Amino acid sequence: MKIAWAIVRRDLVLAYRQGGGIGTAIGFFLVVVTLLPLGLGPDIALLSRIAPGALWIALLLSVLLSVDRVLQPDHEDGSLEQMLLAPMPLELTVICKSFAHWLTTGVPLALTAPLFGLLLNLAPEAALPLILSTLIGSPALSFLGVLGASLTLDIRRGGLLISLLILPLYVPVLIFGVSASSSSGAGLTLLGPSLLILLALSLAALVLCPLAAAAAIRAHYR
């Protein structure tokens, strides 16, 4: 566990020192949310209706923007190979790096989503469901993104390929995330079926993605 915590702490320190990943993700999120009212027009009712879906799409794309830097720098400087030879299972290493990515990208985006939602006339009662759904669903986005990053280690600037590989897997998270975010407007309970399914998707990604990503990394170094 000391090794696992050291990996998480190392990735957190690097992310906050560099600042590019967090700042770029939040900046991209803000740009997408700002452009939507300009493109759709000043229809307040329309913006309020599409706000949860638009915020989820912006969050999803913002996560994709930063996920290619989770493994690539460690691969380039040889750190990833050392992690492969470490006594700790590689699957746990992938979990640690995915968790660090979620803390530095998913959590800030989830917490700022209601604030940016004001630009889309997000209903005040939808703020709490939006925060809950994004906090619960964003781990799945990080784990799936790291899986895509592990499949494109040999490809420089493989962000586009990661998007093509992982975007279809993001669709269930997007569907149930938007449904959970809109639950208050539909008169449903806060912990409704959509939020529980979203939690199940994150747990499934937590179990399956590290296994697949570790297998892809081992295959690369054989």
Residues 94-147: pLDDT tens digits?
999 999 999 999 999 999 999 998 888 888 888 888 999 999 999 999 999 999
pTM, entire model: 0.88
- Number of structural domains (the chain) is 1
| pLDDT at residue number 188 | 46
On the question of pLDDT at 61 being above 50, the answer is yes
**Alpha carbon distance 81, 36 (integer Å):** 43
Domain that holds residue 104: 2-221
What confidence tens digit (pLDDT) does each residue in 176-213 have? 999 988 765 444 455 678 899 999 999 999 999 999 99
